[in-house]
Amino acid sequence: MGIRQMAQPLGIAVCALTMPVLAARAGLTAAFAVPVAVTALGLIAVIFGIIDPPIGRGAGSDSSANPYRGATFLQRIHAVSVLLVIPQSMLWTFVPAWLIVGHGWSPLSAGVLVTATQVVGALGRIAAGRISDVWGSRMRPIRVIAVAAGAGTALLALTDWIGSPLAAAVMVVATVSSVADNGLAFTAIAEFAGPSWSGRALGVQNTAQYVTTAASTPVLGALIEAAGYSAAFAVAAIAPVIAIPLVPRDRTPRISETPVR
């Protein structure tokens, strides 16, 4: 799952490296052609390359039982993931403008840094999966990641507020830490829900995260306009702190049979 979850930060990396440069040199139309092109390629890949595997009984709960009843494990993972996606999506959305507009970086140099950061973040998802397999736990690494994401984003707010030259480096740390949990959460949900419920449970997970991203992005954008980037970073840092006590205990009895990596 960590390998699969590399796709999102790598997609962000492609857009960060190409869209700001195209927008500066050829206009917004050329820049917006990038996601159109990659989406079309993805559609072709899905049509001709994706085949549903046979569905069997998995390592999670009974496939016929509703995993949302009698336990709060899935609800708590959804809540934690929603909170952790706030700094993640905030950094993905606003860091290019923060570098270009706020700190005078060229579109190319900003794109290169964001691309490199996303590549490291993608590798961090595999590393988190490997650590999870070694520890025999999905939730303990998520708890560590929540602490790191909160601390990293708070430090980014501080370094940006005082005008420290280290702010860009701190941004890399904050971004990498904020994206590392996704594979672990998705794997834990699928393991616990079982094959008959995993599709629905993962659909709830994705929907909740995307709705949160859609709702929080304009709010944080308005906050940036009113009070600056450091204030927005500080507010985003609160979400992982709230998530820390919500991380549940592991509830997957046969975790060793379904590795994350």
Give residue 58's pLDDT.
Answer: 46
For residue 162, report the phi and psi dihedrals to the nearest 5 degrees.
-90, 0
Give residue 220's pLDDT.
Answer: 96
| Lowest-pLDDT choice from 37-46, 76-85, 146-155 | 37-46
Give residue 260's pLDDT.
Answer: 44
Whether the full predicted model's pTM is greater than 0.85, yes or no, is no
For the stretch 48-66, pLDDT in tens is 988 877 765 544 444 568 8
Q: Spell out the domain ranges in the chain.
A: 4-257
Distance CA 19, CA 28 (A): 8
Distance CA 82, CA 136 (A): 24
pLDDT over 80 (residue 26): yes
Give residue 255's pLDDT.
Answer: 39
pLDDT bucket at 254, cuts 50 / 70 / 90: very low
For the stretch 126-151, pLDDT in tens is 898 889 989 989 999 999 999 999 99
> By the 8 A CB rule, do 55 and 194 touch?
no
Residue of 139, 151, 210 whose CA lies nearest to 181? 139
Architecture label for domain 4-257: Up-down Bundle (1.20)
Question: How many CB atoms are closer than 10 A to CB 182?
Answer: 27
